Amino acid sequence: MDTEDDGTRTARSLAAWLGSVSFTDLGTDQATARVIEAVAAWGTAQGWRVYRRAPSVFPLPPPLKGNSVLDVACARPGAQPIAVEVDRLDRQRTVDKLLAEAAAGRLAIWVRWGTGPFPAPPLPVHLVTKPAARRRGLWHTVADLPAPRHSGGAPSAAAETVELPWDEESRG
């Protein structure tokens, strides 16, 4: 087991990796899939075995039978496995699933994407965020949004200069 990392360093590594991920004009399912693929690519780049839709220790809700699945799981030689869930919404079921994964000895990471706010889950679940905004029903990573249009026209070259009064007492 990696005793030097309580999960914080691993979560920071994933956050840095996701910082370079961008998308524009994606529907919710497409944006979620893009983030999941980026998480999987991060695990692969670390040299770990990566599993998409890996079995979870958390049971499915009744009346369904069996166990839930994880968006991404990573097996790391000499270190605890990683369980990752990717969500746009704040879902208690996801928190419960990741707490169960942590109790089973896995490093639990919740990747939240969207507009936020992103309340921190209870430890030992680690939160990684990917800000995105919705425009005309489609999602964009925040860095990919165009600059807002400003009201009014271009500044006038003939703008009048106004001299402000100046006295020695106000200079302090």
The band of 109, judged by pLDDT with boundaries at 50, 70 and 90, is: very high
Confidence of residue 3 (pLDDT cuts 50, 70, 90): very low
Contacts of 87 (CB under 8 A, 6+ apart): 32, 94, 110, 111, 112, 113
pTM of the model: 0.80
- Is residue 105 a contact partner of residue 81, using CB atoms and an 8 Å limit? yes
Instruction: Please name each of the domains of the chain with its CATH number.
Output: 8-145 (3.40.1350)
DSSP symbol at 161: P
- pLDDT at 4 (0 to 100): 53
- Tell me the pLDDT of the chain averaged across its residues: 86
The string over 28-37, giving b where at least 16 C-beta atoms fall within 10 Å of a residue's C-beta and e elsewhere, is beebbebbbe
pLDDT band of 1, cuts 50, 70, 90: very low
Selection from 92, 82, 77, 72 nearest residue 32 by Cα: 72
Residue 67 has pLDDT above 50, yes or no: yes
Position 168 scores a pLDDT of: 54
Which of 51-55, 114-118, 156-160 comes out lowest in average pLDDT?
156-160
